[in-house]
Amino acid sequence: MSESERESIGTAFQRSLGLRWERGGSEKAVAVVMDMRDDLRGPAGSLEGGVVSTIADVAGASACAMSVGALVATQHIAISFLAPGRVGPIHAEGVVLRTGRDDAVAEVRVTDQGNEDRLMAVALVTVRVLRDRS
């Protein structure tokens, strides 16, 4: 995927966060990366939890969408925050665990690459497959 293709995908909100899509470690994986920015830090100086949730959601949903070849919408996300993100870049890799006719599930690991790949969060993302019903 070229640099311009990576910059043109995603929603306006996702682009405003500076999210970049990359290949994951397997054919069922998608990685999403973002640089740490001061405007995304909370009062303690670490990455805001909502931003961590967003990058996890995007990585999981993107992996599912790629796997099923259709648009998807997140139905449920369960996330456990394990450590603060302080350095960046922040890396989230979504790996598809299961695909069905109407839904798919991915596991996501979010790490702080600039802090020895410290594991920041793990998430389970369930999406609804939005197929053409005509």
For residue 9, what pLDDT is reported?
Answer: 67
For 25-54, the pLDDT digits (tens) are 888 899 999 999 999 999 999 999 999 999
CATH of domain 3-130: 3.10.129.10
Short-list 82, 61, 76, 71, CA closest to 14: 61
- Tell me the CB-side half-sphere exposure of residue 56, using CA atoms within 13 A: 28
| Confidence class for position 3, pLDDT limits 50, 70, 90 | low
Q: Please, what is the average pLDDT of the chain?
A: 92
| Confidence class for position 133, pLDDT limits 50, 70, 90 | low
Q: What is the reported pTM?
A: 0.90
For residue 16, what pLDDT is reported?
Answer: 92
Mean pLDDT of 51-73: 97
CA distances from 126 to 20, 37, 79, 102, 103 (A): 21, 28, 12, 11, 7
Cis status, amide bond into 89, omega within 30 of 0 = yes
Domain locations along the chain: 3-130
Contacts of 40 (CB under 8 A, 6+ apart): 17, 47, 48, 51
CA distances from 123 to 9, 16, 45, 94 (A): 22, 22, 22, 9
Short-list 75, 63, 124, CA closest to 102: 75
Mean pLDDT of 19-28: 89
For residue 2, what pLDDT is reported?
Answer: 52
